[in-house]
Structure 1
Amino acid sequence: MAHSPPRLTTDRLSERGKDVAVVVAVALVVVGGTLWSMRDRSETPWQTALGWALIAVGCGALYFRRRWPVAVALFTLAVCAVYYPISVYDGPLLVVFVIALYTTAAEGRFATAVAFGIGVMLMIVYGEVHGRQSGRHVDDAQFMMLAGWLLSILVLARAQRTRAAYLEEVRARALAAEREQEARAQQSATEERLRIAREVHDVLGHSISLINVQSSAALHRLSKKQAGDDPAAALVSAQEALEAVKSTSKDALRELRSTLGMLRGAGEAAPTAPASGLAQLPELLDRARSAGLDVAAKTQGAPRPLPPPLDLAAYRIVQESLTNVTRHAQAASAAVTLDYGEDALRLSVEDDGVGAPDGIGEGSGIRGMAERARAFGGELATENTADGFRVTARLPYEAPGGGMNEAKGGAA
């Protein structure tokens, strides 16, 4: 944007240079032609002075032809109407009007230009009819040539106008397409950032929550050892908790590498670890159990292969739900249910914890799960139960609209 004013100034200077060049070129033609016609003719000084004055103002008026095309065309026509009756030389001053007439038509005033052309022909006819006593100045052949010349000028100007309009439309379409492409690229980048942020949140949030619980348990058991309880039992319990921390952190690193692998550049090796999905659900439940949560899983219906994006979304919803149970619910047990229906996968995670105000979960985790479900044309709901809190989600196997949302999720 900062470079626009210099470019506009350059464009204006360029247009002015073209106008000056046209004036100079036309003046050279008219002056040269007039001098040539003076070879064997003579006229009075006042005729010569007036003739050269009319040539000067007529040529100079062309500088303003694009700013005021109709006015310049009318002015040059008037100059020619005065010049030819009083001049003996009959120089090519008519070129000035022809240029102005072309500009008028090319600037979109085609009807006005046609009217000027017809007016010129009528003026010539009038002059020939009333000047028969001194003989004809324009014979039939010259008259037809002049008419054809003016018609050609008008047709050429019309074609130039049409071409200019077409080029302008092409430029406008190209600019609109470029802006639309930039908007789409920006939107895609925003969606990609949100998707990656959601992935990182789900991976790290779940694992770090479990690590926090397990490390707290290890510290608690070691404090019992220091307080004089059974040292061997305390050390065994602490060792089990630390082993769970090690396993959880290893899984977190694996999933984090897989997530960050989506950001690798072209030519870099793809991550070798398998993508997360419901196939890794047993490991996820084991990690939750190592944090002290009694988790049971149940499958209803006939399991079926899921598209990778849908498989990942289902896994992340279960993962985030268990993370919330571990961090906030103060629950002792939880139940995960997978129901493979005819048209959609329905899953639920229910715990026996304290529930949530009004049965509505808060925070980016719940929003992230809902966004995942909506991306596939599904929905997610949360509610308090008589014993705790429940998260339910419905994920269609095929999103409405021919898999558009599946493709969108496939980027994950």
Structure 2
Amino acid sequence: MRRLPWSMLISIGAVVAVVIGTALAFMLQEGNQANALDFVLPVVACTMVLLRERYPVTALIVASLATMIYYPMAVFDGPLIILPFLVLYTAADKGHLVAAIVTTAVCLLGLGLGEMGPVRHVDNSTFLLITGWMVAAVAAGGVTRNRRAYLREVEQRAIEAEHGREEEARRRESEERLRIARELHDVLGHNISMINVQASAALHGLRKRPEDAEQALQTIKQASKETLRELRTTLGVLRQVDEDAPTSPADSLARVSELVAASGLEVRTEVSGPLDGVPTEVDLAAVRIIREALTNVSRHSGSDTAAMAITRESGNIVISVEDEGPGSVYADGSGFGLQGMRERATALGGTLEAGPRPGGGFRVLATLPLQASRTRQKESR
């Protein structure tokens, strides 16, 4: 069974009080003399009180007018005065504050003018009491309306904050998925590409030059071991259960010669400036960019030679990888590998340019700021 709201219960209680009060006034009246207004006006006012939630302004005007007419014109002195307080409160609570204030002023003005005649129905203290109750009813309605508005605003802010946290969580999950995909691409793409190149060389020289085939197989063994180790590291971090897996990259700019040797290419390398003491995230990004650039040379250039320059100057690490191969290139610098390199550079506040060289071949040029990385690390702490 549905329960009645408090406002309806209060309205019913007020109507019952008026009916009982009017009946008692009728029984106590000498001679039981009455006119039609003694019964019509209470019925009209009570009806308006019961409808005050749906029609607040109409109930305010009709109930107040019925009460103003009741006391000077009716014979009985029933408790009809309690009804205007309810409709005043409801009008202010529903947002009709101007109508409530105007009605209060009109009622008090009419009551004051009516009491200026030779016969007075209320004394000064009663008039002040009625004034106070009417003002209090309007004020209470305004306060409850403001409180509801405040609670709605607080609830809306809480909902927006919750949505914001959910959006932030989804954004971080998306960024983490992209980071994992980039890591797996770098780890697997480079090493598997190198294994493929070395396997081709081993098959080609297996009969003619067995010593070269043996060296190629040794390289394949080392590369596959490194691939498994790095893959195990990445998956171990994701699962957070493999405590034996290393948490820092095995490769580093300080051991760039090992990167070059593992690529299976003849790379002319020029290093300018110290490569030790580079921030970890810059070191990792630089290693990944070099490996991906050399992998692209091996895959797409059609050449087994490349030129690489690494320069540390003005707070930046500048990496350049070029080839002169006739193979296919990405004219617009697109491709998942190049996209991953560009994302790594951009994440550190750096830049990456990739495209065909004017004289033929392909070039990758990355600039990674060192100071921006340190600032990001301090902010994260």
CA contact (8 A) 2:301 2:327 kept: yes
CA contact (8 A) 2:34 2:76 kept: no
5 Å-filtered alignment, 1:7-406, equals 17-42=5-30, 43-44=32-33, 47=36, 51-130=38-117, 132=118, 135-222=119-206, 225=207, 233-234=209-210, 236-265=211-240, 269=243, 271-272=245-246, 274-275=248-249, 276-289=251-264, 293-354=265-326, 357=329, 360-382=332-354, 383-386=356-359, 388-399=361-372, 403-404=375-376
Range moving further from structure 2, 308-317 or 391-400:
391-400
Distance 2:371 2:44 in 1: 77
Distance 1:36 1:286 in 2: 110
Deviations 1:308-337 (A, max 9, x none): 111111111101101101111111211222
Structure 2: gaps of 5 or more residues: none
CA contact (8 A) 2:33 2:75 kept: no
Range moving further from structure 2, 344-353 or 16-25:
16-25
Distance 1:407 1:331 in 2: 43
CA contact (8 A) 1:347 1:394 kept: yes
SS in 1 for 2:199: helix
Q: CA 1:78–1:106 in 2, change beyond 3 Å: closer, same or farther?
A: same
Q: CA 1:180–1:260 in 2, change beyond 3 Å: closer, same or farther?
A: same
Distance 2:326 2:258 in 1: 26
TM-score by length of 2: 0.88
Range moving further from structure 2, 70-79 or 377-386:
377-386
Q: CA 1:273–1:112 in 2, change beyond 3 Å: closer, same or farther?
A: closer
Partner of 1:5: none
Shift of 1:44: 4.0
Shift of 1:251: 0.8
Range moving further from structure 2, 71-80 or 155-164:
155-164
Distance 1:357 1:213 in 2: 19
SS in 1 for 2:115: helix
SS in 2 for 1:403: helix
CA contact (8 A) 1:356 1:384 kept: no
CA contact (8 A) 1:38 1:89 kept: yes
CA contact (8 A) 1:304 1:340 kept: no
SS in 2 for 1:399: helix
SS in 2 for 1:302: coil
Deviations 1:178-206 (A, max 9, x none): 22222222222212211111111111111
CA contact (8 A) 2:85 2:133 kept: no
Shift of 1:354: 1.9
Q: Point out 4+ residue stretches in structure 1 off by more than 6 angstroms.
A: none
Distance 2:343 2:230 in 1: 20
Deviations 1:261-314 (A, max 9, x none): 44235x77373253253245333222112xxx1123321023342221111111
SS in 2 for 1:380: strand
CA contact (8 A) 2:298 2:304 kept: no
SS in 1 for 2:195: helix
Structure 1: gaps of 5 or more residues: 1-12
Deviations 1:115-165 (A, max 9, x none): 1111111221233234x3xx4211111111111111222222232233223
**Residue-pair matches, total:** 377
TM-score by length of 1: 0.82
Q: CA 1:199–1:386 in 2, change beyond 3 Å: closer, same or farther?
A: same
Range moving further from structure 2, 337-346 or 99-108:
99-108
SS in 2 for 1:129: coil
Shift of 1:39: 4.4
CA contact (8 A) 1:284 1:319 kept: yes
Tell me the C-alpha RMSD between the 2 structures: 2.8
Shift of 1:355: 5.6
Distance 1:242 1:186 in 2: 45
